[in-house]
Chains A and B, each alone.
Chain A
Amino acid sequence: MITVCDLAVTFGSGRDAVQAVRGVSFEVAPGESFGLVGESGSGKSTVLRVLAGLNRRWDGVAQLAGLNVATGDRRLPKVVQMVFQDPYASLHPRHTVDRALSEPLEIHGIGDVSDRVVRAMEAVGLGPSFRFRFPNQLSGGQRQRVAIARALMLEPQVLLLDEPTSALDVSVQAEILNLLRGLREAQGLTMILVSHNLAVVAHMCDRLAVMNHGLVVEDMDVDTLRREAPREAYTRQLLLASRGYDREAAARMVTFD
């Protein structure tokens, strides 16, 4: 479903050039949920933005359902959609839920708008009373539900999730993760989940890749993560740090370049 091969992304040029992604390759099978894990600056979100078509300048191969992302094919929005980290920033503050959800349909000339909006709202657990509300009349969790509904309007096969719950309280995070798992099962979605939170990835994904400084350090299946048996020292340190505070562990931490 998803093929990424030797993907490289450079921002800026000359002396100020930053190589954000330096040759990343992976494949994701249809229906699979794949995690991209790493710390800030590792390039994980950049990979996702390339696949979503938000980043136009890159080298290598990126294919979704047989379509080359580089061509900007008009069918791509119906194949892939993205959900962003901050539901406070990703919804237009002066558009109602109804407008946010109908817009993709209108752009792509899809009829039956009203029914589809109501169905999408149902699918993400929002009652009809929310339809004509503005984002400022919604909680963070409700906004993220709207953002997920919007991503599903064109019935994509692939959903790209960039830290979808890290701006939310833990109790709300559980609701959104349950929703995403349910949607994946019901609609047979293929997912890529970008997160710094290993527990969220362990809960949501079948397989994952760990990134650092624009490179994949290691990839593994989720059982390896659950058994806390990664191969690389970098991943082991990441696991150790995410287990909570430990004075001894802190003293032994090193920087990986």
Chain B
Amino acid sequence: MSALLEVDNLRVSFDTPTGPFHAVRGVSFTLGRERLGIVGESGSGKSLTGRAIMRLLPPSALLQADRLTFDGIDLLRASPKTLRTIRGARISLVLQDPKYSLNPVMTVGEQIDEAARIHGGVSAAQARRKTLEMLEAVRIRDPERVVRLYPHEVSGGMGQRIMIAMMLLPEPDLLIADEPTSALDVTVQTQVLAILDDLVAQRGMGLIFISHDLELVSSFCDRVLVMYAGRVMESRAAADLAAATHPYTQGLLRSLPRIGEHRAELPTLRRDPAWLEA
């Protein structure tokens, strides 16, 4: 199986008055048609890693890598035109908050249709049919009504599913999902993950799942990268995350309260400066 995505020594930095700030410092991984989780706390560089792959960094960011290829295409040297044919159509990005990611002055139907027309080159009527199919696939009841609503008229959970429908409609080869379910209730979260799960299994889509939730990632993904301060601390099969060897991962896992356990005090994480260098 050839890799869908190859990332080698990815670095992202920002210029600040006090010198460059290195937000991502040498991240490397390869991704096949699988579910890869990237976990870490705020500021770990997990979201920037996802955006760097899409080449969607702010202009002030400096992106460097020894290798950044998607399906044989060198993303670092790709022209803006090439990137436009990849973004949305072949690599898609789902963001955390539907409130900020959906267009507030377009109806739900209009903005999903747009994805179908631009990336699928289909007629308006075909686009609408695809939109309705996709909304049904993400378990939205009564899609005929929902397409006429504006984003402020739908709940957070529904907004999130609408975004996922929009991003999946062009049938991308790779989906980067940045905290796609953290705004959702646990039962809806489970249902949305099942949709992504099926798409990976049925269409052979690659998935990068970015999250702060270790337990969710270990139960959902095939493989996990644990990030801290812009570096990968540890990479292992998701199923045996509990057997993590890095003190950072162990510390995170221990600091979680668990339903069946009775502990007076939760162990807090002691950050070792050596993790910044390792």
User: Residues of A at under 8 Å CB distance from B?
Assistant: 39-41, 140, 169-171, 173-175, 177-178, 181, 196, 198-200, 202-204, 225-228, 237-239, 241-247, 249-251, 253
Contacts of B251 in A (CB 8 A): 171
A109 to B48 alpha-carbon distance, docked (Å): 50
Inter-subunit contact B267/A244 (CB<8 Å): no
Inter-subunit contact A174/B259 (CB<8 Å): no
Q: List 16 A-B contacts (CB under 8 A).
A: A40-B155, A170-B41, A170-B212, A171-B251, A174-B255, A174-B269, A177-B257, A178-B265, A178-B266, A200-B257, A202-B260, A239-B259, A241-B190, A244-B219, A244-B220, A246-B219
Inter-subunit contact B186/A242 (CB<8 Å): yes
Contacts of A203 in B (CB 8 A): 257-258, 261, 263, 266
Q: CB-nearest residue of chain B relative to A39?
A: B185
Inter-subunit contact A170/B252 (CB<8 Å): yes
Inter-subunit contact B187/A237 (CB<8 Å): yes
Chain A nearest CB from B178 CB (Å) reads: 16
Between A169, A204, A239, the greatest number of chain B beta carbons within 10 A of the residue's beta carbon is seen for A169
Chain A nearest CB from B43 CB (Å) reads: 9
Inter-subunit contact B194/A251 (CB<8 Å): yes
Inter-subunit contact A238/B266 (CB<8 Å): no
User: Residues of B at under 8 Å CB distance from A?
Assistant: 41-42, 155-157, 185-187, 189-191, 193-194, 197, 212, 214-216, 218-220, 251-252, 255-269
Question: A170-B214, A178-B266 given as contacts; is B256 within 8 A of A199 (CB)?
Answer: yes
A246 to B261 alpha-carbon distance, docked (Å): 21
Inter-subunit contact B194/A238 (CB<8 Å): no
Chain A nearest CB from B187 CB (Å) reads: 5
Inter-subunit contact A244/B266 (CB<8 Å): no
A246 to B215 alpha-carbon distance, docked (Å): 12
Chain A nearest CB from B59 CB (Å) reads: 24
Known: A199-B259, A244-B216. 16 other contacts (CB 8 A): A39-B187, A171-B269, A174-B266, A178-B268, A196-B186, A202-B259, A203-B266, A227-B260, A238-B187, A241-B186, A244-B218, A245-B190, A245-B219, A247-B194, A247-B197, A253-B187
Question: A177-B257, A244-B215, A250-B193 given as contacts; is B266 within 8 A of A196 (CB)?
Answer: no
Contacts of B263 in A (CB 8 A): 203
Inter-subunit contact B190/A169 (CB<8 Å): no
Question: A170-B214, A171-B268, A171-B269 given as contacts; is B262 within 8 A of A253 (CB)?
Answer: no
Inter-subunit contact A253/B191 (CB<8 Å): yes
Inter-subunit contact B260/A169 (CB<8 Å): no
Between A169, A171, A228, A242, the greatest number of chain B beta carbons within 10 A of the residue's beta carbon is seen for A171
Inter-subunit contact A225/B255 (CB<8 Å): no
Between B194, B214, B262, B267, the greatest number of chain A beta carbons within 10 A of the residue's beta carbon is seen for B194
Inter-subunit contact B255/A199 (CB<8 Å): no
Contacts of A225 in B (CB 8 A): 259
Inter-subunit contact A171/B190 (CB<8 Å): no
A249 to B193 alpha-carbon distance, docked (Å): 11
Chain A nearest CB from B220 CB (Å) reads: 4
Q: CB-nearest residue of chain B relative to A241?
A: B186
Which of these, A40, A181, A246, contacts B156 with CB under 8 Å? Answer: A40
Chain B nearest CB from A125 CB (Å) reads: 11
Chain A nearest CB from B143 CB (Å) reads: 17
Q: CB-nearest residue of chain A relative to B201?
A: A247
A177 to B258 alpha-carbon distance, docked (Å): 13
Contacts of B189 in A (CB 8 A): 241
A174 to B270 alpha-carbon distance, docked (Å): 12
